[in-house]
Amino acid sequence: MAACEDTPPNDYTPENVIEAVLIVGQPIEGIKVYISQPVTDTFWYENSIVKNADVKIIGDGKMLQLSYRDAKPGGEYFYSDTTYKVQPNTQYSIEVNVGGKRFTGETKTPSQIAWVKHIRDTVHFPKDTIKLESPDSLRIEWTPTPGVSEAYLASALCLDTLEYGKYFTPPTDEKNRRITATNNEADPRYNETARYGYVVGTKVPFFWYAYKWYGLHEYSMYAPDINYLNWMKLTRVFGSNPQYDPNQGSIYVETESGRRKAFGVFGSASVIRKKVFLVKNQP
């Protein structure tokens, strides 16, 4: 029992978090190792980054030793031979040794996804989003992808939240701005430049709510393995404040009494991308 004038308890055991996703056809990079911090201390992101872990990726008949480098945001582990690309339909495992603990995980990469029909290079945001004529958006379609068991992931990323007119011919000085329909400052992800969606099937109407800004965007469709899909559902896709459940994670810590679930993800995906310019619905 604690009283209001008691010293706050600070008995805290830090936990490691592994965040690793392999993208088919790309080099191995962007792998993160973190250490949690007690809520009784001031949180500093830099203090959560682990820079001295031993990280290996095993698969495709190889054992790949990763190196650490400082990067923005935070640091990352990567494989220095960038000529090696992640293979489709291949079983990979990860091994992370840090702080006297050994963490492991496994993933099988999906096949490479491909567009059947993609968004036009230039899209005009409708002047009236309440009274839209049918169809009210563009339709996109992609190939069914072996290795995807449940759903696909879509994202719309604004590549330049500041500039707008410089992408025209001839260029102008006009600046970018937010789309008022999605202008909710109470949203904890208000300043994030990407929005993600969960898509069942291989064709879907592209929806206007995906955009937060006008201007230059990159639209991506991911074919995820179940590990990456679960991670995104737990941390990004469903709700503004999702709750992470370690039982749905894909990282294990090996102990003397056996293996148990740990925090983090080791997953994979293939991805296709398309750059799109969103024209303002009014000056």
Residues with Cβ within 8 Å of residue 129, at least 6 apart in sequence? 181, 208
DSSP 8-class letter at 187:
S
Confidence at residue 141, expressed as pLDDT on a 0 to 100 scale = 93
Averaged pLDDT of the chain? 87
**Are the C-beta atoms of 110 and 131 separated by less than 8 Å?**
no
Q: With bands split at pLDDT 50, 70 and 90, how would you rate the model's confidence at 255?
A: confident
**Are the C-beta atoms of 141 and 152 separated by less than 8 Å?**
no
For the whole model, what pTM was predicted?
Answer: 0.87
Residues 1-30, mean pLDDT to the nearest whole number: 82
Q: What is the DSSP string of 242-253?
A: ----GGG---EE
pLDDT tens track for 145-201? 988 988 999 999 999 999 999 999 999 999 999 987 666 666 667 788 888 888 998
**Are the C-beta atoms of 123 and 277 separated by less than 8 Å?**
yes
Confidence at residue 238, expressed as pLDDT on a 0 to 100 scale = 63
**Are the C-beta atoms of 235 and 2 separated by less than 8 Å?**
no
* Angle subtended at Cα 26 by Cα 196 and Cα 278, rounded to the nearest 5 degrees: 40
**Are the C-beta atoms of 65 and 31 separated by less than 8 Å?**
no
Domain positions in the chain are: 16-111+224-269, 115-223+272-279
Give the Cα separation of 21 and 237 in Å (integer): 16
Q: With bands split at pLDDT 50, 70 and 90, how would you rate the model's confidence at 7?
A: low
Give the number of C-alpha atoms closer than 13 A to the C-alpha of residue 132, restricted to the C-beta side: 12
